[in-house]
């Protein structure tokens, strides 16, 4: 029997074709989103997830990965 290590991811991107939802999963993810995409800064949030157009989702996910965040 082996014991696995649970890896906590920082963000999750849910692609719904015309829109994407970027959701924080960790404190690091929340802090990053608050710093990069503060609420009310021409950004829309839905149940804690940032609502994005696909081209914005690609740009932000690339930036998050470059800054060391991980995705589910």
Burial class (CB in 10 A: 0-12, 13-18, 19+), 22: buried
d(CA 38, CA 62): 18
Q: Tell me how long the chain is.
A: 72
Residue 61 lies inside a defined structural domain of this protein = yes
pTM equals 0.83
- Assess if residue 55 is contained within a domain: yes
In a domain, 5, yes or no: no
Whether 24 maps to a domain, the answer reads yes
Q: Is residue 1 part of a domain?
A: no
Which domain covers residue 49, as residue numbers? 11-66
Residue 40 lies in a domain: yes
Each of the 72 residues of the chain gets a pLDDT tens digit; together they read 556 677 789 999 999 889 999 999 999 999 999 998 887 778 888 998 999 998 899 999 999 999 999 999
Q: How many domains does the chain have?
A: 1
Question: Is residue 32, in this structure, part of any structural domain at all?
Answer: yes
């Amino acid at each position: 029997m082996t014991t696995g290590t649970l890896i906590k991811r920082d963000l999750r991107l849910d692609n719904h074709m015309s829109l994407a939802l970027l959701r924080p999963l960790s404190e690091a993810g929340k802090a990053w989103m608050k710093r990069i995409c503060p609420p009310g800064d021409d950004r829309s949030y839905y149940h804690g997830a940032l609502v994005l157009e696909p081209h914005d989702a690609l740009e932000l996910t690339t930036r998050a990965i470059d800054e060391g965040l991980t995705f589910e």
